[in-house]
Amino acid sequence: MSRSPHTAPPRSSRSIPSGGVQVPLVAVLVIGIGLFAIGVGVGRSIAVRDAGSSGGSPVVAASGNAEAEPTPVVAEPAPITSTPAAPSFAFDPPELDFGIVGPKDELTASFRVVNTGVEPLRVLAMKPSCSCTTLENLAGVVLEPGKSRTLTAIVDPRDYPGEKITTIRFLFAGHDPVDYSIRSVVMRAVVTDPPYLSALEQSSGRYEVSSADGTPFRILGVNGERPAHADDFDPDRDDARNRYLLAWDVTGYDPTTCRDEQGRPMPKWWAIETDHPDAPVIDLRMRHQPCTALELPRAGRQWLIDTTRTLLGVMEPGSSREFSVEAKWLPRARVASAFAITRVEAVSDDFTAELVDTIDGEASQTCRVRVTVDPDHRGLVYGDVRFFSRVPGQSQAVTVIARVPRPGEERGR
């Protein structure tokens, strides 16, 4: 069982008064003459305890020799050590590990907070590190000795592949903050290698797309166009495979305007459509400066949406689907309501967007958005939904990716 950091109880200290006891002058002279005589007769130094400390290092008095001995270095007193008090709480189990999960799975599990001490344990505060995790807030709850409280955590993987570690920070009275970890590995049915594309030092390259379980599938399109196979595979002649080698190229985009000859911007996310029933559309992050840089707060913007894109899967022509994001207030935001999200706008011809609802949190605002696909659209659905705050000129975009099956294509999920 893991131990949480804690603060050792303060060490007690005692001071002894520096003032001495008054002694008659005659007694002082007698004692002084006696000490001098002993020093001369023996011819050595005398060790005398420092009156200002109890049990301290001896101070050496000078002998009667003609040449005074150098003053020795006084040894520092040994540091006072104490064994830190054991934490008075425990988690059962010590952490949650969901293992390998799917990108659309809703992860639910429970754990207990146990008071293992002899005194009541008060929960001062608790906060998840990500809005993707929800659970009961125990702030203000007092656990009696030997008692426990069960919490159920619900985690949304948000379709970001790879290892995920979410923490829940607890603050107990008398202890330093401690983090409880929730782990998972998000794996799509169709994966890519590498997991992102980098155009920082080159403008073209290759990448692999394969099914995680070895099931054959077909790639229907990349960024809404016919896939560029980098080997001898012919989609019109060859059977479906479980692995493909594709080429990527951004030389057709102007590095200054970040647009191609048709005026289309360089996509921040390389979108791949497949006929795999569990992976109708996947994406790779395209890294390019400055064309695909993610939006960060500037010009006084005091809020940030930590979701940069959302995958909505397969949609029918004219159908709608909703998703939620969280706008978080930055630490410097003093009046959060002044920066609230008030409207959204679709920056795409593929769909429209509507702000359905907002829920104010302690330091954030959850926004629910409805996306409606154009009734005449077929193929890849790609574009931004821009969120606008109450402050003029402050906004941030979230990319929406989905797929509307073309005639004869598999719909998937």
Show the 3-state SS of the chain: CCCCCCCCCCCCCCCCCCCCCCCCHHHHHHHHHHHHHHHHHHCCCEEECCCCCCCCCCEEECCCCCCCCCCCCCCCCCCCCCCCCCCCEEEECCCEEEEEECCCCCEEEEEEEEECCCCCEEEEEEEECCCCEECCCCCCCEECCCCEEEEEEEECCCCCCEEEEEEEEEEECCCCCEEEEEEEEECCCEEEECCEEECCCCCEEEEEEEECCCCCECEEEECCECCCECCCCCCCCCCCECEEEEEEECCCCCCCCCECCCCCECCCEEEEEECCCCCCEEEEEEECCCCCCCCCCCCCCCEEECCCEEEEEECCCCCEEEEEEEEEECCCCCCHHHHCEEEEEEECCCEEEEEEEEEECCCEEEEEEEEEECCCCCEEEEEEEEEEECCCCCEEEEEEEEEECCCCCCCCC
Q: What is the mean pLDDT of residues 391-401?
A: 92
Q: What is the mean pLDDT of residues 373-385?
A: 97
User: How buried is 253 (Cβ within 10 angstroms: 0-12 exposed, 13-18 middle, 19+ buried)?
Assistant: buried
Residues 6+ apart with CB under 8 A from 259: 253, 265, 266
Is the per-residue pLDDT at 59 higher than 80?
Answer: no
Residues 6+ apart with CB under 8 A from 407: 378
Q: Which of 107, 113, 131, 127 is nearest to 183 (CA)?
A: 107
The predicted pLDDT at position 157 comes to 85
The predicted pLDDT at position 338 comes to 67
Q: Which has the higher per-residue pLDDT, 364 or 402?
A: 402
The predicted pLDDT at position 294 comes to 87
Q: Which of 220-234, 246-260, 354-368 has the lowest mean pLDDT?
A: 354-368
Q: Which band of pLDDT confidence, cut at 50, 70 and 90, is reported for residue 346?
A: very high
Q: Which band of pLDDT confidence, cut at 50, 70 and 90, is reported for residue 284?
A: very high
Please state, in angstroms and rounded to a whole number, the distance separating the CA atoms of residues 345 and 385.
6
The predicted pLDDT at position 297 comes to 77
Structural Rg of the chain based on CA atoms: 35
Q: What is the mean pLDDT of residues 228-241?
A: 96
Is the per-residue pLDDT at 344 higher than 90?
Answer: yes
Check if the beta carbon of residue 126 is closer than 8 Å to that of residue 167.
Answer: no
Average pLDDT, the chain: 81
Q: Which band of pLDDT confidence, cut at 50, 70 and 90, is reported for residue 309?
A: very high
Greatest CA separation for the chain: 121
User: How buried is 380 (Cβ within 10 angstroms: 0-12 exposed, 13-18 middle, 19+ buried)?
Assistant: buried
Q: Distance between terminal CA atoms of the chain? A: 41
Check if the beta carbon of residue 369 is closer than 8 Å to that of residue 324.
Answer: yes
Q: What is the mean pLDDT of residues 360-384?
A: 93
Q: What is the mean pLDDT of residues 255-263?
A: 95
Q: What is the mean pLDDT of residues 13-31?
A: 39
Q: Which band of pLDDT confidence, cut at 50, 70 and 90, is reported for residue 83?
A: very low
Q: Which band of pLDDT confidence, cut at 50, 70 and 90, is reported for residue 333?
A: low
Adjacent-strand bridge partners of 244: 209
pLDDT digits (tens, 9 = 90+) for 171-189: 999 999 999 999 999 999 9
Q: Which of 173, 121, 178 is nearest to 147 (CA)?
A: 121
Q: Which has the higher per-residue pLDDT, 11 or 360?
A: 360
pLDDT digits (tens, 9 = 90+) for 31-43: 443 443 334 343 3
Q: Which has the higher per-residue pLDDT, 311 or 3?
A: 311
Please state, in angstroms and rounded to a whole number, the distance separating the CA atoms of residues 193 and 202.
17
Q: How many CB atoms lie within 10 A of CB 63?
A: 16
Asked, as a colleague might, if the bond just before 93 is cis with ω within 30 of 0, I would say yes
Is the per-residue pLDDT at 276 higher than 60?
Answer: yes
Q: Which has the higher per-residue pLDDT, 299 or 275?
A: 275
Please state, in angstroms and rounded to a whole number, the distance separating the CA atoms of residues 248 and 203.
8
Is the per-residue pLDDT at 291 higher than 60?
Answer: yes
Adjacent-strand bridge partners of 181: 167
Q: Which band of pLDDT confidence, cut at 50, 70 and 90, is reported for residue 332?
A: low
CA angle 45, 47, 52 (to 5 degrees): 140
Residues 6+ apart with CB under 8 A from 198: 205, 287
The two beta strands, 142-143 and 121-128, are: antiparallel
The predicted pLDDT at position 339 comes to 74
